[in-house]
Structure 1
Amino acid sequence: MKAVHADTGEYLFGLKPAMASSLARPSQFSEYTVIFIPSGSGTYQADFSTFSFNGPVLLFATPFQALRLQADKDMEVLLLQFHGDFYCIEQHHSEVACNGLLFNNIYLWPYISLSAAQAADFTQLLTQLGNELHQEPPSGIVLKAYLQLLLAKSSTIRLQTQTARPDEQPQDKQMEAFRQLLDQHYRSLHKPADYASMLAISPNHLSKRCKGYFGKSPSQLIQDRLVLEAKKQLHLTRKSIKEIAYELQFEDEFYFSRFFKKMTKVSPRTFRRRTGISVVADLSM
């Protein structure tokens, strides 16, 4: 594998072939990860949720998301990874629109299915990117341009298919209302029963509808929403861990740290140290 590293030795960007079996055990990376599977089928586990896929497909994961790939038969895949210090998706949101479409969305399925023609385009793009990586030295500007093009193409496909569910089931207005309530109140309301009450349904009914619509239980979505916001605050701001815990209305920073580590397997301090603080943190000051 050819990769780009910082002067400090930190891994910034790389593309490598890998066997699907190498990802059969849960893995975590401190970089954004895109997995290109040209063909085949299986299941993709992201944190505590499992999704079925049929290639060709692109899978997406945020830093320190727990990944597990179980293919029906072993096959070669391509693993593209980039650190936030190499390419800041928040800073380039207007160009690629990938933050919230491909990454950092607890409601959308973490992959996009590709047509044969789209898969051929991505194969060519990744080949060109790989060729640039083998230049001595590779051009960071060119690599970022290829990466930006890949993310922009992926976001366009996501927008064209704009659905959180591959079976294209009709929109559930009540569950969409739950989504809105969760985004409004996740800081203060941490129990499914709170949302069931606002929706005037029983907790059991909420659980059944939620699992069928989002593929996750209400508790999972609440926890995922808290973790997502915590990751954003750790990466996109210079707020202290105590301040972040207070904003998310945890009893104290120690309880928040235990919750975060339980969900991500790393402490808030380790997450911030490994992912870095985005340039967006200083731009917004």
Structure 2
Amino acid sequence: MIKDQFPVINIGQLDEFKQEDILISRFAPYLAVHKNLQQAHKHDFYHLVFFTDGAGSQTIDFERFEVKPFQFYFMIPGQVHHWAFEGHVDGYVVNFSGNFFQSFLLKADYFEQFSFFSGNANEAVIEVPVAMQADMINLFEKLLRESEDKQRGALDMVRLLLVELFISIGRLSAPNEQKQVSPYNLTLLKSFRNLIETNFRSLKLPKEYAELLYITPNHLNALCNDLLDISAGEVIRNRVVLEAKRLLVNPELGITEIAGQLNFSDNSYFTKFFKKQTGSTPEEFRKQFITKRS
């Protein structure tokens, strides 16, 4: 049985939880209630924060970002994150479960079109331009009112406002998209990533995934190089490294146990793999992370 290395927060466990599958709050009072969430943890729900005031840092899957006013942070279930704020911090927070939109949207994969829901930490932080800042604040104020007033159809109005928010933020990256990508290739890449998420512990070679996708390894590699600018093998290795980091920061897990969970034949092979990918041994990474957090 695989041990979970971080506290996993369920949306129903939150003290101010009032409505099924959704929580909307100003960030300052939310932070005051949930000071314990400043330590590294995971959610089983989607977590959105829009900062309007404050400074410090937010770390998502071991990628550190400087917190600034008018920044969005999007996190999907399972990502590891923690805060390190400086002084007063405020804004808005929205937590919603995967079920919240299930009966509302016919497309089960609707959110997969938005890069900030990809699970890639570097795509999860978005700065809002000055021209949009007032509109974003107004939208969040509407979300708060609908959440608090509980008028007829309030939850559906919340869903509509959130979809409006996601589309508006998604458009921010549209002018920078240079490549015209076919729907087939996007679907193929999504299928590859989904297969990695399910099988990264046991399947570590591109040819194994290519076989499951009914394409050649060369086709899969060309796809990843074209859309992601990295090879298919690197996509797989990056996911293994991320999981290794998540496991390593749990002091209760030994290196040998972690190597076993990730299906490495022995501790030595795992150590060589990890050092080649990160520049640090597993023990060095563990010490560095614990030192940074203390």
Cα 1:98–1:37, aligned 2, differ >3 Å: closer, same or farther?
farther
Identity of counterpart residues, as a percentage?
13
CA distance in 2, matches of 1:184, 1:148: 23
1:146 aligned onto 2:146: no
- Tell me by how many angstroms 1:72 deviates: 3.1
CA distance in 2, matches of 1:129, 1:184: 32
Cα 1:159–1:92, aligned 2, differ >3 Å: closer, same or farther?
farther
For 2:3, the equivalent position in structure 1 comes to none
TM, length-normalised to structure 2: 0.51
Contact 1:60 1:110 in 2 (8 A): yes
User: Which piece of structure 1 moves more, 80-89 or 113-122?
Assistant: 80-89
Gaps of 5+ in 2: 1-15, 179-188, 207-216, 218-229, 245-256, 264-294
For 1:221, the equivalent position in structure 2 comes to 238
Counterparts of 1:240-259 in structure 2 under 5 Å?
Answer: 258-259=261-262
Q: Deviations over 1:69-88 (max 9, x none)?
A: 22233312311011111114
Gaps of 5+ in 1: 6-11, 164-178, 192-197, 199-212, 228-253, 261-285
State the one-letter code of the partner of 1:24.
Q
For 1:194, the equivalent position in structure 2 comes to none
Q: Deviations over 1:185-224 (max 9, x none)?
A: 9553369xxxxxx9xxxxxxxxxxxxxx9xxx98972326
Q: Deviations over 1:8-48 (max 9, x none)?
A: xxxx0111123357353223222101001013333211122
- Structure in which a larger fraction of residues adopt helix: 2
CA distance in 2, matches of 1:24, 1:145: 30
Contact 1:2 1:15 in 2 (8 A): no
Cα 1:66–1:142, aligned 2, differ >3 Å: closer, same or farther?
same
For 1:13, the equivalent position in structure 2 comes to 22
CA distance in 2, matches of 1:82, 1:218: 28
TM, length-normalised to structure 1: 0.53
State the one-letter code of the partner of 1:223.
V
Q: Deviations over 1:173-195 (max 9, x none)?
A: xxxxxx9xx9699553369xxxx
State the one-letter code of the partner of 1:108.
N
Which has more radius of gyration?
Answer: 2
Q: State the aligned residue count.
A: 187
CA distance in 1, matches of 2:78, 2:239: 18
